[in-house]
Amino acid sequence: MSASAVREPVRDLPACAAERASIVVGVTSHETCHALKGRLKALREAGFRVTLVCRHGPLFDRIAADEKVESIAIPMKREIAPLSDLISLFRIWRVLRRLRPDLAEFGTPKAGLLGTIAARLCGVPRRIYMLRGLRLETATGFKRRVLWAAEKMAAGCAHVVLCNSESLRAQALALGVAPADKLHLLGEGSSHGVDTERYSPGESDVRVRYGLPPDAKVVGFVGRLTRDKGVPELVEAFDAIVQAEPKAHLLLVGWFDASDDLLGKDVRVKIESHPHIHLTGYQESAAPFYRAMDLMVLPTWREGFPNVVLEAAATGIPVVTTISTGSRDSVVPEVTGLLIPPGYPEAISEAVVKLLRDPEQRLRMGQAARAWVMEHFNDEHVLGLTAAYYKGMMTPLAQGAGY
């Protein structure tokens, strides 16, 4: 914790505050709550009283119950909506004023902006902006400027900006989102790590359930089906993959997200009509799907740190992903998988065909991938770093360090 991170005075806390400190953790949408699995529990078990704040939805209720934390639903829109945003800001401010938490962590663009502003207005003594990605990277024109200003404001209202990966930290610094002494990275990155027992090699009935031939060569994708995830390029590349490897099948484990980077109608029609493309919809756990894959592809344009890559690696399969921010940290090139430039269907098809035709290389990469995740991204290790960092912020010494 850098002593140069001093921004403003904070309230005094008793020496034993870490044992009974309260923390509010906020994200925009209930769908994002899946990224908080284990994180909320780890903070609770570290001695914090944890309250989850986000827009209401099925995952919001489920995660709060599973993690055994308190929860408060606050409506928030993902898109820019000035009047609605002001109302949401007031509601968050009112919650924080009532709870008077010792620490607040807000992440995702909208909750990150509104939450950190509200926390600063309420004088929350420890404010963290959890940076899981930079949406502005794929935006242009006026929208990019607005998103940049929002990131700058969220970072400015926080004492610490926790970055999900080293390349995300470097990009945030390069874009002027925050100064170097405010941008922090814990360990090797990732916000919650991987349950390496749940995500492990093993048997799966997925091929049978989805009618995949026993000898199919299965290429997988896990995540939101959007433009920013590189799905249009993947679908285009798959035609070339099937031409080179007629037994190839594409397993899309995800859903058509109604976001501003949603897929065009032509891409959706092709996905739904292609005889070798299998769409699963949203899945609570992707573990059995990874086990059905020969390799996974994430041709993304931007990430914070893609946990799906770590999950696939823990399951013992190689991954093809891009050199984009965040994703390039999730693969050890030529060891656990392959890195390609974003936006090039031919690069996807070339890398995929190369691995499909070399089962021995896939096996070596899969074994190396699991070992790498076990060493650096086991969830107990990652969440332990987070809990220790937050408890360290609550000590008297941390006050002298500028929090």
List, for residues 356-374, the tens digit of each pLDDT value: 999 999 999 999 999 999 9
Q: Considering the entire predicted model, what is its pTM? A: 0.88
Residue 360 sits at the vertex; the CA angle it makes with 217 and 323, to the nearest 5 degrees, is 75
Q: What is the location of CATH 3.40.50.2000 in the chain? A: 3-193+379-400, 206-376
Per residue in 17-41, pLDDT tens? 445 799 999 999 888 888 888 999 9
pLDDT (0 to 100) of residue 403: 57
Average pLDDT over residues 220-226: 95
DSSP designation for 234: H
What local confidence, expressed as pLDDT, does residue 20 receive? 74
Q: Does 192 score more than 70 pLDDT?
A: yes
Cα(340)–Cα(318) distance, integer angstroms: 14
CATH topology assigned to domain 206-376: Rossmann fold (3.40.50)
Whether 191 contacts 39, CB under 8 Å: yes
The answer to whether 13 touches 399, Cβ cutoff 8 Å, is yes
Sequence length of the chain is 403
CATH number 3.40.50.2000 given to 3-193+379-400:
yes
Average per-residue pLDDT in the chain? 91
